A and B are shown apart, each in its own frame.
Chain A
Amino acid sequence: MKGRHLYLFGLLVALAGICSTRPAYAQDAHEIKGIVVDSIGQTPLPGVTIVVKGTSNGAATAPTGEFSIRAASNAVLVVSYIGYDRTEVPVGGRTNIRITLSQSKTMLNETVVIGYGAMKKSSVTAAVTKVENTILDQVPAGRPEAALVGRLAGVNISQNRAQPGQAPTIRIRGASSIDAGNEPLVVIDGVPGGNLGMINMNDVQSIEVLKDASSAAIYGSRAAGGVIIVTMKKGSAGKTRFNFNGFAGISKSRLHDDWMTGQEYYDYAVKFQNREWRWANPNADISIPVWGDARRPATYQVNPVLNNGANVIWQDEVMQTAPMQSYNISASGGTEKMTYYVSGTYKDEIGTMKNTWFKSYGVRANVDVKASKAVSIGFMLNPSYSKRRMTDRVMSDFAKIPSFVEVQRPDGTYPRPKDYWGGPVSSQTSPSAILNGTYSYGATFSNVGEAYLKVDLAKGLSLRSSVGSTIAYNNSDFFQTSYALSNFQNNGNDISTSNINMLNENVLSYNTSFRGGHDLSAIAGASYQKNRSKGSYMYAVPNSFVNETIHTLNNAVIDPTKSYTANSAWGLVSYFSRVHYGYKEKYLLSASIRTDGSSRFGANNKWGYFPSASVAWRIKQEDFMKDLHVVSDLKVRGSWGITGNFNIGDFQYLGQIKDAIYSPNNTPIKGQAQSNFENNDLGWEKTRGWDVGIEIGLLKNRIQIVADYYSKRTYDLLYQVTVPASTGFVSGLSNIGDVSNRGFEIELTTRNILQPDFTWQTNFNLAMNKNRVEDLGGVKERISTDGTTQMSWILRVGEPMFSYYGYRTIGVFNDAASLGKYPSLAGTKPGNPIFEDTNGDGFITPADKQLLGNFQPKAILGMVNNFTYRNFDLSIAMQASLGAKMFTYENQFYQGALLGAMRRSIVANQWWSDSETGDGRMPGSALSTLTRQSGSDIYIEDASFLAVRNINLGYTLPDAAFKRLGINSFRAYLSAGNPFIFTKKGFHGYNPEGSTLGEIGGVNSRPGYNSGSEPISRVYAIGFNFNF
């Protein structure tokens, strides 16, 4: 693998030589070196554009702020950088120039992209948070979201599953919808509706998050989950600049280290069987030998094979240390008339779980042309392809296999526990057989594309009209060999789906200023969107593959009752307008209105209206603040707005007739039956929210604070309200119910040390969110109970959505004598947990169940520290999550059930007998008492954690050595992903963010349920980034 990297590297160096043929310059042109620094902190500024005036000859500064350019000694350099005043610097015969840039007017003057436009950050009246891509593309992770973790206040990105290529869950200011999804709207270069998996972080300029209702309302229809705006890199005038970024590394999982084997395992297996027997028959004589004595029922025997096995720790067997690599190359440049940016990327991640991987390939092109004085046109294309191999299993399916089972027998077969003993051990297939015999692939081709025409109609007035599309083709191929399945029936399917979203947007923009300090800008627009989706679902009849060499369905019989194709579509029509008014840049006012019509809603309620308003007062601009030098900036703002949500399936308001199969004469035929309620009144789910914020800069902006308090209420919830079954259905989708989220966020940026040789900057953020069910359409609560575990999830007015609901344990019944001391469920035996009799009626009944915590964290903290020392730079990104509870049902698999693998930390502390009563909290845990432990708080664990998500150490080589190769800058870096994760004592999962049944997605959601989310990977990588 290493050889290949060197090869690639060599290839790129060679390419660099070919591509950087130098244009001829004026005779007296010579090389000029320099550095660009910030006027206040004297910190180097990376990425500053420098162009020789009157030519297309340009350069950009390296991360160290340094640049070099060829220019005549009488030339003038034009230096520009976002958020800073454009400066012209005469060369004046110098060969080494130090250029100082001043931030334009105020420190907070960087540009912020908002919906349908950009504005100065100082003028923004709403809660918008932004992260620039400085080293985000150097975080070693398969998906781009991982780089953002901990950097954006109020944006919770959690990786619930750790398989390569798996999308994380993103929640902005909490979840509010029950049935209609809580995903934020992703807008990629103005095209809404994509996802972050479609882009390559190397191409990203910045990411803005519109958090409050007023900023998001301009995207009214789908903005209830917040809006993530991704701004991609564009070319700028100047000679062609190439950038290469690549890294390669290895990942290794964070695993458990307390598995029991050999004699220790056997001893607990004996205890387990004796306990089971005693429970079934209190008079059982457990002194009867555990093996070979007919007086002991077969169910309660222990085969000596348990003590004479292979001592395989299956967790270790299925995991591996795996390589990861990523390469990206881009070229950008242009002239005054035309600019371009093109890039290509390749990423290859092998999973830490065997037989899993993720590969992605992407190309991006951006071209902007100024066709005439008044007309500009442009387009972007971003096709990408990714493919992954995954497993459809959870970690516990593998890790629970007991250690006496060998990996593979000499004859090549994979033995199961049952092959060693016909007794009460698992008959599940060997993990190795499952992983080697399952061919589960997912492939996605996607493209985000847009072409636009922009016409300047008059001074300050322009029209931008665009046609965009987001296309995604997904295919999953699945094949399982007979040996991978416990029924030995080979199996396969092939599912293809496509989604084509076409969008036309027309936006008129107007900007003007009036005498006396009045600034006005406004937009009005119309948007038409059509989405067509198509799916083809083909399933093989089990065991119908003629042989196992060919895995596609031409080698099998297609199952007629399961296979089908289906088309669907939705349409959205929107009109919107926004006015922004500022007086002397002191008083700022913004208002918008958007109206959306959706085909997804009933005839009576297709249209929704989404207004917003916001104000800001820049107090620092007032005369009375002039002399208060300690305060360098001060702004207060407030906003209000309404956003919407229509993320339900298509045509849900209609009474749909679906298949209902039955087999008269032994021939399956598709009968038909109505599958849902008809509801012609179905309409928009809406979220109404307000936000107040303050932005403070102190000590020449050495300290910057942004703090927000918000409150939002989602109402007319698209909610499957329960109805009497005598209507024919148990629930019906309606606009009923309210959910609120209130919270506080603070972002603190401090420039702690600003020395020429050494700088230290800290970005800290904290977000606290409180989620609350406000109304459920008349009923006070709705409980959904998981059949197997008897754990319930409750929606209760006044409490966070989907809190765990079950019995609280207050100890364990230690012996027969203690049974009468506390009320208990019928059939309680020694070793069972004591449940709290909440209502004190002397009985344990369902009325004694209580709230046992919630999967949502109470607070999320992020901190990024950036250091530079001479040519070294170091960035450390940390994240902490506090107060989330997880239902670690996975523990149950490692406590002795079916004499599977056992973990010391949850086995040794159990109640084993009257004389070995354990730690007083962990009951005797077995399948036969399953619901007593799983229906209580025994498996509810505190999933708080502190994680160092990324450490990136870079060294920028002094440039002299590379000039001859045409390289402008060269940075080498070491990057570590997830190097340290600290969880609470008493937490037993592999991943504190793990969950295996998803998050909120309907009334029967089981968020926080974890039956074996994969271990988190630690990644260590080395990378190079250079410009030429």
Chain B
Amino acid sequence: MKRIFFSLQALAILIGAAGCHDALLNMKPESILTTTNYFRSSSEMNKAVIGIYSNLQARRMTDYIIMDAPSDNLYMSTNTPIAGAVDLDGLTMNTENNVLGNFWESNYAGIYRANQVLLNIDKPKDYAGNAKNQYIGEAKFLRALLYFDMVRTFGGVPLVTAQVSIEEARAQRRASVDEVYNLIIADLKDAVEKLPPAANMEKGRTSKGAATALLGKVYIYRKDYNNAKEVLNKAVNDFGYNLVPNFATLWDPATEDNSETVFAVKYVESVNGQTLSTAFIPNGGVYGIVERGVETALPSWSLNKRYVAGDTRKAKTITDWLVTPTAPNDPPTFYPYVSKYANKHLYNTSGLDLPVMRFAEVLLLQSEALYHSGDKGGALTALNRVRERAFAGTSHNYTATDIANANDFLDKLLLERQLELAFEGDRWYDLVRTGKYLTVMTQEERLYVPANNAAETVTLSPQSYMTVFPIPQRQADQYDPGVMDQNEGYKK
């Protein structure tokens, strides 16, 4: 009996299978590109490069939680809690930190995209002009930038430059800090080589000048001042960068592409906007800016009080008096909020670009390089260029006596970096690379009450191991036993 059924089944197969079978089982996707049919033309390679920028664009708007909140610039508001952010703010982060986990994962996704461009770069045969070199340069610049953020945040990390299988990835140990920097420097040198100048690039993409400036910044972190000096002098002189006369110009979507832009992440309101502008706005919104805010974080008094009268940067960095959209005619309330990114925008989708590097920072880096390579006069000049713009004149310039010794210089430089680059993602790393966080971060003044003439102050406990943050446990768990070493101080 059984035989009959099997032969019946065979019959059915014969009847139906001939035409149907393969067509039903081996369907091709109509609306989806796949790895098998991509990376075939210069245009597709261009789109793949855009994909790397897209990764950075999504990450950049929450960088402040890692790069500013742990420092004395910013504290997290209770209005919209973000898991893990309060711990970074209070220097109590542990291995479960969600923000660090997201940061780690996002960066590797971007690195993968850059690697894919570099691994497939030879496939297209239709490159016109310098296109191939440009794509290589962009991919390497972005890969270097992502690894730079990784090494500054976590120390040595697994160094991936090829496509790795799951098994290979699980067995890959952390590279040393030096090894990571070696790749960053090699990538940036090649990017400087291959990238065209900014004039030949679309706004929002990198350029030879941007790669040069970033390389200079990396040398500063390496304390390789001679190389830093050489590279940063080029960055200052060779690419036509200049400070804009008015600090506020930098933070207006209408003038966001200007002579000071070295590399900024582009956003377009409503269709490809960022959430940072709204994140810093108080819950009830700000008149003329946005109807309501998310208020994830507020500026600390520690930073606020350091702006002296006459500093034009203050108004475009922190606004003390809040005017709400619902009661614009009422007297303003004292409620300081970060206004650097506050321009009229649609809720949670601002078009204001977020700078990664701008010329003011290049000058401050140059000042640092020059000071440490013996050119104290040059260092002073570079530092004062930034101050002159801030104070609309030379009235607040430093003199040689102000930077009589290295400690003075460091204090002045860090102050200037803090005031100039507040909320741009440098303060925490600056405090760490100079070791200052151990003293500066013992306490933070937060909410100031004018009627009481006092700020509410929190006491913090910075520890020596906090130069790097913990490796996210959820990622460490993915590795073969014993492969992923946790950073000192965070071990269970």
Which A residues contact B (CB, under 8 angstroms)? 280-281, 293-295, 297-299, 416, 418-419, 422-425, 427, 486-489, 504, 506, 508, 520, 522, 524-526, 528-530, 541-543, 559-562, 565-573, 575, 577, 579, 597-599, 606, 650-651, 654-658, 660-674, 678, 722-730, 732, 779, 783, 785-788, 790, 826-827, 845-847, 898, 926-928, 930-931
Q: Determine the chain B residues whose CB is within 8 A of the CB of A660 once the complex forms.
A: 50-51, 54-55, 113
From the candidates B49, B90, B113, B326, name the one contacting A419 in the complex (CB within 8 A).
B326
Whether A669 touches B50, Cβ cut-off 8 Å, given contacts A654-B34, A664-B202, is yes
From the candidates B12, B94, B113, B165, name the one contacting A525 in the complex (CB within 8 A).
B12
Query: A928–B92 Cα gap in the complex (Å)?
Result: 17
Do B83 and A542 have beta carbons less than 8 Å apart?
no
From the candidates A504, A569, A787, A846, name the one contacting B83 in the complex (CB within 8 A).
A787
Q: Which 10 A-B pairs have the closest CB atoms?
A: A728-B112, A671-B50, A571-B24, A673-B51, A928-B78, A664-B202, A660-B54, A655-B35, A526-B12, A657-B33
From the candidates A298, A598, A722, A847, name the one contacting B474 in the complex (CB within 8 A).
A722
Min Cβ gap A226→B in Å is 25
Do B478 and A568 have beta carbons less than 8 Å apart?
no
Query: A606–B330 Cα gap in the complex (Å)?
Result: 69
Query: A567–B30 Cα gap in the complex (Å)?
Result: 6
Do A727 and B33 have beta carbons less than 8 Å apart?
no
Q: Determine the chain B residues whose CB is within 8 A of the CB of A508 once the complex forms.
A: 8, 12
Do A599 and B478 have beta carbons less than 8 Å apart?
no
Do B31 and A577 have beta carbons less than 8 Å apart?
no
15 chain-A/chain-B pairs, Cβ below 8 angstroms: A427-B326, A568-B31, A664-B53, A664-B205, A669-B50, A670-B47, A672-B33, A672-B38, A672-B48, A726-B160, A726-B164, A728-B108, A786-B83, A787-B82, A826-B92
Whether A280 touches B447, Cβ cut-off 8 Å, given contacts A526-B12, A725-B104, A726-B158, is yes
Interface centre among A294, A663, A783, A827 (most CB of B within 10 A): A663
Do A726 and B12 have beta carbons less than 8 Å apart?
no
Do B266 and A666 have beta carbons less than 8 Å apart?
yes
Q: Determine the chain A residues whose CB is within 8 A of the CB of B349 once the complex forms.
A: 542
Q: Determine the chain A residues whose CB is within 8 A of the CB of B291 once the complex forms.
A: 427, 486-488
Q: B334: CB under 8 A from chain A?
A: yes
Interface centre among A669, A726, A847 (most CB of B within 10 A): A726
Q: B105: CB under 8 A from chain A?
A: yes
Binary contact track B267-298/A, C-beta < 8 Å → 1, others 0 = 11011100000000001110000111000000
Do B54 and A541 have beta carbons less than 8 Å apart?
no
Query: A658–B34 Cα gap in the complex (Å)?
Result: 9
Do B35 and A654 have beta carbons less than 8 Å apart?
yes
Residue of A nearest to B49 (CB): A671
Min Cβ gap B417→A in Å is 29
From the candidates A295, A424, A663, name the one contacting B283 in the complex (CB within 8 A).
A424
| Residues of B54-97 contacting chain A, CB below 8 A | 54-55, 57, 78-79, 81-83, 86, 90, 92, 94-96
Binary contact track B166-203/A, C-beta < 8 Å → 1, others 0 = 10011010000000000000000000000000000011
Q: Determine the chain A residues whose CB is within 8 A of the CB of B15 once the complex forms.
A: 506, 526
From the candidates B50, B83, B164, B203, name the one contacting A931 in the complex (CB within 8 A).
B83
Interface residue total, chain B, C-beta cutoff 8 A: 109
Query: A560–B63 Cα gap in the complex (Å)?
Result: 28
Interface centre among B50, B86, B447, B475 (most CB of A within 10 A): B50
Do B266 and A664 have beta carbons less than 8 Å apart?
yes
From the candidates B6, B12, B34, name the one contacting A506 in the complex (CB within 8 A).
B12
Min Cβ gap A627→B in Å is 37
Do A664 and B50 have beta carbons less than 8 Å apart?
yes
Query: A664–B205 Cα gap in the complex (Å)?
Result: 6
From the candidates A294, A423, A489, A561, name the one contacting B272 in the complex (CB within 8 A).
A561
Min Cβ gap B470→A in Å is 12
Do A672 and B158 have beta carbons less than 8 Å apart?
no
Main secondary structure of the interface of B (DSSP, over half): mixed
Do A668 and B268 have beta carbons less than 8 Å apart?
yes
Main secondary structure of the interface of A (DSSP, over half): mixed
Do B292 and A663 have beta carbons less than 8 Å apart?
no
Q: B346: CB under 8 A from chain A?
A: yes
Q: Determine the chain B residues whose CB is within 8 A of the CB of A722 once the complex forms.
A: 474, 477-478
Do A663 and B346 have beta carbons less than 8 Å apart?
no
Min Cβ gap A816→B in Å is 16
Min Cβ gap A416→B in Å is 8
Whether A847 touches B266, Cβ cut-off 8 Å, given contacts A599-B24, A724-B475, is no
Kindly specify which of B228-236, B382-390, B435-443, B448-456 makes contact with the partner chain: B448-456
Do A568 and B48 have beta carbons less than 8 Å apart?
no
Q: B309: CB under 8 A from chain A?
A: no
Query: A583–B29 Cα gap in the complex (Å)?
Result: 51
From the candidates B90, B330, B346, name the one contacting A826 in the complex (CB within 8 A).
B90
Which B residues contact A (CB, under 8 angstroms)? 1-2, 5-6, 8-9, 12-13, 15-17, 20-21, 23-27, 29-36, 38, 44, 47-55, 57, 78-79, 81-83, 86, 90, 92, 94-96, 98, 104-105, 108-109, 111-113, 115-116, 157-158, 160, 163-166, 169-170, 172, 202-205, 266-268, 270-272, 283-285, 290-292, 322, 324, 326-327, 330, 333-335, 346-347, 349, 351, 447, 449-452, 456, 474-475, 477-479, 492
From the candidates A424, A568, A665, name the one contacting B203 in the complex (CB within 8 A).
A665
Residue of B nearest to A520 (CB): B1
Q: Determine the chain A residues whose CB is within 8 A of the CB of B203 once the complex forms.
A: 664-666
Q: Determine the chain B residues whose CB is within 8 A of the CB of A488 once the complex forms.
A: 291
Q: Determine the chain A residues whose CB is within 8 A of the CB of B13 once the complex forms.
A: 526, 575
Residue of A nearest to B81 (CB): A930
Whether A422 touches B109, Cβ cut-off 8 Å, given contacts A672-B38, A790-B83, is no
Residue of B nearest to A847 (CB): B492
Besides the contacts A660-B113, A728-B113, A847-B492, what 11 more A-B pairs have beta carbons closer than 8 Å? Answer: A281-B456, A487-B292, A566-B30, A661-B54, A662-B54, A664-B266, A672-B50, A673-B113, A724-B170, A724-B479, A927-B79
Query: A926–B334 Cα gap in the complex (Å)?
Result: 23
From the candidates B9, B35, B284, B347, name the one contacting A422 in the complex (CB within 8 A).
B284
Query: A487–B285 Cα gap in the complex (Å)?
Result: 10
Q: Determine the chain B residues whose CB is within 8 A of the CB of A847 once the complex forms.
A: 492
Min Cβ gap B57→A in Å is 6
Min Cβ gap A723→B in Å is 5
Query: A783–B1 Cα gap in the complex (Å)?
Result: 53
Residue of A nearest to B78 (CB): A928
Do A598 and B48 have beta carbons less than 8 Å apart?
no
Do A568 and B284 have beta carbons less than 8 Å apart?
no
Whether A728 touches B109, Cβ cut-off 8 Å, given contacts A541-B271, A927-B81, is yes
Q: Determine the chain B residues whose CB is within 8 A of the CB of A525 once the complex forms.
A: 12
Do A522 and B27 have beta carbons less than 8 Å apart?
no
Whether A524 touches B5, Cβ cut-off 8 Å, given contacts A571-B25, A827-B92, is yes
Min Cβ gap B268→A in Å is 5
Do A663 and B324 have beta carbons less than 8 Å apart?
no
Do A725 and B283 have beta carbons less than 8 Å apart?
no
Q: Determine the chain A residues whose CB is within 8 A of the CB of B449 once the complex forms.
A: 295, 297
Q: Determine the chain A residues whose CB is within 8 A of the CB of B21 once the complex forms.
A: 573, 597
Residue of A nearest to B17 (CB): A573
Do B79 and A542 have beta carbons less than 8 Å apart?
no
Whether A654 touches B24, Cβ cut-off 8 Å, given contacts A725-B104, A927-B78, is no
Q: Determine the chain A residues whose CB is within 8 A of the CB of B31 once the complex forms.
A: 565-568
Q: Determine the chain B residues whose CB is within 8 A of the CB of A732 once the complex forms.
A: 166
Query: A660–B24 Cα gap in the complex (Å)?
Result: 31
Query: A280–B455 Cα gap in the complex (Å)?
Result: 11
Interface centre among A543, A606, A671, A732 (most CB of B within 10 A): A671
Q: Determine the chain A residues whose CB is within 8 A of the CB of B50 once the complex forms.
A: 660, 662, 664, 669-672
Q: Determine the chain B residues whose CB is within 8 A of the CB of A657 once the complex forms.
A: 32-35, 38
Q: Determine the chain A residues whose CB is within 8 A of the CB of B160 once the complex forms.
A: 726
From the candidates A543, A665, A672, A727, name the one contacting B112 in the complex (CB within 8 A).
A727
Whether A597 touches B25, Cβ cut-off 8 Å, given contacts A298-B335, A660-B50, A665-B204, is yes
Min Cβ gap B9→A in Å is 5
Whether A846 touches B96, Cβ cut-off 8 Å, given contacts A418-B324, A664-B203, A671-B54, is yes
